[in-house]
Amino acid sequence: MDIKDIVKEENLVYTKTKCMTDNVLSYCPGCGHGTAHRVIMEVLDEMNIQEDTIGVAPVGCSVLAYDFMNIDIIQAAHGRAPAVATGVKRTMPEKYVFTYQGDGDLAAIGTAETIHACNRGENITIIFINNGIYGMTGGQMAPTTLKGMRTSTSPYGRDLPSMGNPLKITELVAQLPGTYFVARHAVHTPAAVRKTKKAVRKAFEIQKENKGLTFIEIVSNCNSGWKMSPVKSNEWMVENMFPFYPMGDIKVDGELVKKD
Amino acid sequence: MGELKLMKGNEAIAEAAIREGVDAYFGYPITPQSEVLEYLMMERPEQRTGMVVLQAESELAAINMVYGAASCGKKVFTSSSSPGISLYQEGISYIAGAELPCVIANIVRGGPGLGTIQPSQADYFQTVKGGGHGDYKLLTLAPSSVQEMADFIELGFELAFKYRSPIMILSDGMIGQMMEKVELKDQKSRWSEAEINTLNGTWATVGKPDSRERNIITSLDLDSAKMEQHNHDLQAKYRMMEKNEVRYEVFDTEDAEYLIVAYGSSARIAQKSVFLARQKGIKVGLMRPITLYPFPSKPMAELAKQMKGILSVEMSAGQMIEDIKLSVECSVPVEHFGRYGGIIHSPEEVLEALEQKIIGG
């Protein structure tokens, strides 16, 4: 059987999303960024809002997100994406505006911008990729690095008394009155991808209603930074990251979800 | 004639911004310029014109809100004072790199560090010699009256969009705080969405239709050859500014044997010194650079030919004097005089310095 026998109209169940460009992704093979990009862009496609959406890319591995997302997009300084998005949304309130940020960008250098955009209830969506490490600069400790986790700047493991605690910023922003929908998901399995996509779609739909800030954390792997194979890194993520950063809704319709 | 009002410099610049049809102001309180944000909040520009006014959580956030709104092709204004402008530098470098238009006002106070809340001109180096990282230039307008505080808003936006570049209005605590008569321009309407698409649609992030490629606002290119080309393009733009945008004023220079060079508040003071000197029979004139970058080097060099000496007067330890020396290329002695750290020199002190350092020197 030849490949031409397989690639037929009736067999096509998966096509390129209009909101992704043809550029080759710069991410390491096995990294979750590509899937996360695709999920968001599929939502824009399905909602038919490519023309009405303005994205803000961070500094970090996804600094080049503008090469891959086929939308009008702004590259922000490190940590400042929520402020940039505020400037966009305040002057273009009819547009959908989102930021795409990593853990160093959002939860370390940009903590003030994150908290205040959330607290003001800017009608934007923040997509927060948490892989517990600085991938772009070569695997340094991040604010979300787990206790005992080895990185190039915590080579003997993160020592809490001297290096501080991993920051659950998603739970923190959920406490603020300006956030309307806060959830944590992943993109390591088809089931997880579907849940993430549903949450992203919900977040964008809330923007239309001007109800406040929507915040989706995506716990992801960094196989290069973690020095693991892609498969092993996803297993490690499930075993180690998920217990500390549990999946699911944290705040829905402006109300914190009660945990038993 | 436009509407006449008695206003503080800070109020005049805020009112002028509303009348210019500015889309947004983002700022953070700091003395001696807090009246700008206070005036805007009091005036409810969202009702007058639909202008957005937002108090940010920090200067870092404020300048990045400017970056965001400017990316969308909007007219964006912000103001701060020296320590706050230091925090703006990161954002200004990104704005210059990404080639975004905006107008920034610095109501300068004494430094370094937290310094003082009194007027100063010690941010000249920071403004015209870089400030942030990388090879960029900031077209800088230096008002010396409340009228110019208002007028430079319109001029600033004209230049900002002409060159797609950040424009700095370098004022100081004296001009910001003092009250003068000011003639205000009539209200302009804000640009409509269609006008923004026509004027800025080739580059602004306003949402990508199927009919064009996406617009990207960035200062990044990991390909060094492309980044070098981008820098060439920026430099070409700065050469155009140097060719087209030099602005200055001269006063009593026709028969002058000595020249005082001063900008902003110092130029007002120096004008009185010229008057006092002329009463004593000393033939002195004044040159006031209005654009600090581009600096009026050529007219200054031309004027220097008739001078026996030049006194640079600024409320700093001597910053602009370097540009004067570069302009006149040792053809004539150049000395500096100025009080600083928040002290304003008197006309008599300036005249005394002229007599001691230039005439007697």
Q: Does A7 fall in a domain?
A: no
Whether B326 has a pLDDT exceeding 70, the answer reads yes
CATH number for A175:
3.40.50.970
Question: Is A74 in Cβ contact with B207 (below 8 Å)?
Answer: no
Q: What is the pLDDT of chain B when averaged over all its residues?
A: 97
Asked whether residue A218 is assigned to any structural domain, the reply reads yes
CATH code for the part of the protein at B249-359: 3.40.50.920
Contacting residues of B for A92, CB less than 8 Å apart: 72, 206-207
Residue of A nearest to B92 (CA): A77
Ranges in chain B annotated CATH 3.40.50.970:
3-184
pLDDT at A226: 96
CB B178 within 8 A of CB B172: no
Please list every residue in chain B whose beta carbon sits closer than 8 Å to the beta carbon of residue A112: 57-58, 60-61
Give per-residue pLDDT as tens, B238-261. Answer: 999 999 999 999 999 999 999 999
Cβ–Cβ below 8 Å for A73 and B205: yes
Model confidence at B361, pLDDT cuts 50, 70, 90, reads low
Q: Is residue A240 part of a domain?
A: yes
Question: pLDDT by residue (tens digit) across B269-301?
Answer: 999 999 999 999 999 999 999 999 999 999 999
> Is the Cβ–Cβ distance between B309 and B143 less than 8 Å?
no
DSSP tag of B117: S
In a domain, A3, yes or no: no
Contact yes or no for A74 and B68 at CB 8 A: yes
Residues 6+ apart with CB under 8 A from B290: B141, B142, B247, B248, B249, B263
Q: Would residue A154 count as lying in a domain?
A: yes
ipTM metric: 0.96
Tell me the residue range of the domain where A37 lies: 16-256
pLDDT mean over B213-233: 97
Q: Which residue out of B22, B28, B57 would a mutagenesis test of the A interface target, given it has the greatest number of A Cβ atoms within 10 Å?
A: B57
Task: Identify the pLDDT of residue A260.
Answer: 67
Contact (CB<8Å) B64/A92: no
Supply the pLDDT for residue A95.
98
**Lookup: tokens for B308:** 């026996």
Q: Which candidate from A52, A71, A116 shows the least CB-CB separation from B214?
A: A71
- State which residues of chain A have pLDDT below 70: 260
Least Cα separation, residue A260 to chain B (angstroms):
36
pTM flag (> 0.95): yes
In chain B, residues with a C-beta closer than 8 Å to the C-beta of A63 are 220
- For B169-212, what is each residue's pLDDT tens digit? 999 999 999 999 999 999 999 999 999 999 999 999 999 999 99
Q: List the single residue in B52, B206, B218 with the smallest CB-CB distance to A75.
A: B218
| Alpha helix stretches (DSSP H) within chain B | 9-20, 34-43, 45-48, 59-71, 82-97, 124-128, 146-163, 173-177, 193-200, 224-244, 264-279, 297-304, 320-328, 347-353
Examine residue A146 and state whether it is found in any structural domain, yes or no: yes
Q: How many domains does chain A have?
A: 1
Tell me which residue has tokens 């969405």.
B193
Architecture field, domain B3-184: 3-Layer(aba) Sandwich (3.40)
pLDDT of residue A1: 75
- The Cα of A17 is separated from the nearest Cα of chain B by a number of Å equal to 14
Do A116 and A81 contact (CB within 8 A), yes or no? Answer: no
- Asked if A92 lies within 8 A of B61 by C-beta distance, the reply is no
